[in-house]
Chain A
Amino acid sequence: MVLTSLKPPNEIFTVDLHLWPREWYAVENYATAFAKAPLFRFMLNGALVCVAILLIQVLIAVPAAYALAKLSFRGRELCFALVIIGILIPIQVPAIPIYIALAWTGLLDTYSALILPFSVSAFGIFLLRQFFKTFPDEIIDAARLDGYSEIAIVWLVVLRSAWPAIGSFALFEFIYHWNDLYWPLVVLTDANLSTPPLGLLFYRTQTSGSDFGALMAATTVITAPLIVAFLLVQRQFKQGLAIGGIR
């Protein structure tokens, strides 16, 4: 079954079916795909949105995770409980009110609609907190003695050792948001802003599914970056998966 996913690139190339392509239709198929649908645009959108989401998430999650892991303050338990709740509630539950809010503020059909709702990742906060807990206290104390403020400690001292954890988390989130169909489907009607999955959906309905060769070509193009990214960071991903669990 899995091998099938590796075969399509071959099957893509012919319209009439055999396991190995008879005629190499590759050029025509890919050209059609790129001509009929702005595949680069979709990928660009995907990249833009995912990177933006990631940056904001890290920006917000790192300090929070640090505070929850290393500092004691009034209301800490409450904050942590809030994080746990954030993890437990699936995204579809807040979806409707967020959609309404976006409609009221006129932000539907914009990049903001795609990015902002995901700006806080409870999952990320949790993951990073677990990681920060293992950071040696002595280094932090030494930094405090040297006069570093807490904020400086977060970004200058602790962050450096957190890269592996952040890396796994980033990969996770990137893949999740790249592949997300639900939310873009809900908030976008302008195909120019589509992320890859939504773009593919639009393209499918446009071509009425008869030109499967080109369709498969489009599919391959959209999946390719993920495959490449995956191959590059295989090990980290599996570790992250085992540690953090899956959404």
Chain B
Amino acid sequence: MMRNEAVPLPDVTPTHRQALSVRLLVSPAMFLLLLLVLIPSALVIFISMTNYRLGASSLTFVWFKNYIDLAHNPLFRVSLLNTAIYVAIVLPLSTGLGLAVAMLMERRNLLRPFYRVAYFLPATATMVAMATVWQFLFLPNVGLFNQILGLFGFSGINFLGRPEIALYALAAIGVWEGVAVNSVLFAAGLSAIPPHLYDAAEIDGVGSSWERFRLVTWPMLGPTTMFVVVITALKALQVFDTVAVLTHGGPTQSTEVLFYTMYTEAFRYFRIGCASALTVVILALTIALALIQVRAMERRVHYS
């Protein structure tokens, strides 16, 4: 075929009959998205303004009463605070450590494949299983951590049993999980930095590795970092498994977190109206969190 001849190619845009089959291609997906995502989400908002309890034969509109009750509810406040603390700990630590691990993994050495597996494995593992392992480590007297403390002469700490500490113990687990995921993301980001930038920097007289990091690596990691931060924050906000398996919100509500509270409200106490309100609040927080972070970082990030 000679390209410079003006021979018109046959018209292969879909005909009317083909347009029908297009609808066929797309409609199962769209139908299910409507059914499983859009409508339920709208329903949640609707229900949150009623006092529906599961099994009740009728419901009445109470408008914003649920939300007001929520704001005054001490459990909600504790839950909110706990979740905030949890995120505040997990976010910086798992991001920073994730980056550190990724950079360490960059050095080519014999152990590298081992490190890769070892560090990323937690991300694929079942949280329930891992939580159980951590519980084992945290055991008073017999758990590994307490044994190590014992070696140094400290008396044991009941990590999961003491209200002051339990949340931080869970946060440690969260950081561990976060580092696993983030290190892979950062490793991908690091490998995408064109090496010639480093060469150019060297030519320009940039000597120390700290300078190299500051002037080349960190700016080039911008988009990756933003992605990691947002993902980590959202995952931290949604913490559930460790609480459900290890502490059930205790001791004395010190590990009560938003998602767990929502779960108990909806599926233990069946206060659906109230739980829906909580769901909407969490959704709003999630969106707000994501937006704030994106906004804050967009300014600092430059895409090459």
Contacts and interface: CB of A to CB of B under 8 A. Distances in A.
Contacts of A92: 238, 259, 262, 279, 282
Contacts of B85: none
Contacts of A100: 54, 272
B188 A83 contact: no
Nearest to A243: B188
A97 B41 CA distance: 8
A93 B28 contact: no
10 contacts: A2-B121, A60-B28, A73-B22, A90-B283, A96-B47, A96-B276, A97-B47, A182-B244, A209-B135, A226-B124
A197 B126 contact: yes
Contact of B184 (A151, A222, A238): A238
A73 B23 contact: yes
A36 to B, nearest CB: 15
B32 A201 contact: no
Interface string B167-187: 000000000100111001101
A81 B295 CA distance: 21
Given A96-B276, A219-B133, A241-B184, A90 B238 contact: yes
B104 interface: no
Contact of B30 (A82, A196, A222): A82
Interface stretch (A20-28, A47-55, A141-149, A159-167): A141-149
A89 B126 contact: no
A11 interface: yes
Given A90-B286, A122-B37, A150-B21, A144 B12 contact: yes
A119 interface: yes
Contact of A67 (B9, B10, B26): B26
A93 B278 CA distance: 10
**Number of contact residues on A: which range applies?**
35 or more
Given A79-B29, A181-B245, 13 more contacts: A8-B136, A71-B22, A73-B14, A73-B22, A144-B12, A150-B25, A151-B24, A178-B126, A182-B244, A215-B136, A216-B132, A223-B126, A230-B124
B2 interface: no
Contact of B231 (A85, A201, A246): A246
Contact of A181 (B128, B185, B187, B231): B128
A234 interface: yes
Contacts of A208: none
A184 B7 CA distance: 60
A154 B14 CA distance: 14
A51 B55 CA distance: 33
B25 A3 contact: no
A79 to B, nearest CB: 6
Nearest to B48: A96
B276 to A, nearest CB: 6
Interface of A: 1-6, 8, 11, 17, 60-61, 63-64, 66-68, 71, 73, 79, 82-83, 85-86, 88-90, 92-101, 103, 117, 119-120, 122, 125, 141, 144-145, 149-151, 154, 175, 178-179, 181-182, 185-186, 196-198, 200-201, 204, 209, 212, 215-216, 219, 222-223, 226-227, 230-231, 234, 237-238, 241-242, 245-246
A241 to B, nearest CB: 6
B137 interface: yes
Given A92-B262, A96-B272, A201 B283 contact: no
A64 B26 contact: yes
A29 B47 CA distance: 48
A37 B130 CA distance: 18
A200 B136 contact: no
A93 to B, nearest CB: 5
Contacts of A145: 10, 12
B33 interface: yes
Contact of A2 (B36, B119, B136, B187): B119
Q: Which of A79, A93, A198 has the most CB of B within 10 A?
A: A93
